Amino acid sequence: MSAQIHEQHRADSLRRAARRFATGVTVVAVRHDGGDHALTANSFITLSLHPALIGVSVTSGGRMRQLAEKTRYFGISVLNAEQGDYARHYASRGRGGAPQHLGLHTPDTLPAPIVPGCVAYFVCRFEHTHPVGDHDLIVGSVVESEVLSEEHPPLIFLDGKFS
């Protein structure tokens, strides 16, 4: 087996195995030049409680890392089980602007947009990034976080599907 075929087999095997790990689903968003920019991410982690740090993995070379670094703040919304439309929309490449019913909201007291009706959110100050293979790990210090709903379950991603 050639090295290239072996590497592809390893990547395919990793992808299949990772699909068996259930994750929550988030929307990562920034406000830049009067507009909101967002993407769906399920690679989100609490890195530290003291100091309060989170990490989110984004595609290397994508706009989100550049915008988070430039604007210095980003919001992470934990989607509720009924918000699959948000997840699908912000996961789509080459999408246009969000339909009004999938828009984001930036409260007057926050420096970054969040998804209305999400179960929880984190507003973070950009700290730094780490290149990690074909992704960048954005590290942010949490400046505000809040649970907005304990009645609604979070949206889950498992086996390539939202539930």
* This prediction's pTM: 0.90
Per-residue pLDDT at 78: 98
Whether residue 39 has pLDDT greater than 70: yes
Give the separation between CA 161 and CA 96, rounded to whole angstroms.
Answer: 23
Per-residue pLDDT at 145: 96
With 0-12 / 13-18 / 19 or more C-beta atoms within 10 angstroms meaning exposed / middle / buried, residue 86 is: buried
Domain with residues 23-162, CATH architecture: Roll (2.30)
Domain ranges of the chain: 23-162
Per-residue model confidence as pLDDT tens digits over 94-153: 666 666 567 798 888 889 999 999 999 999 999 999 999 999 999 999 999 999 999 999
With 0-12 / 13-18 / 19 or more C-beta atoms within 10 angstroms meaning exposed / middle / buried, residue 155 is: buried
| Beta carbons within 10 angstroms of residue 77's beta carbon | 29
Per-residue pLDDT at 5: 81
Instruction: Say which DSSP state 125 is in.
Output: E
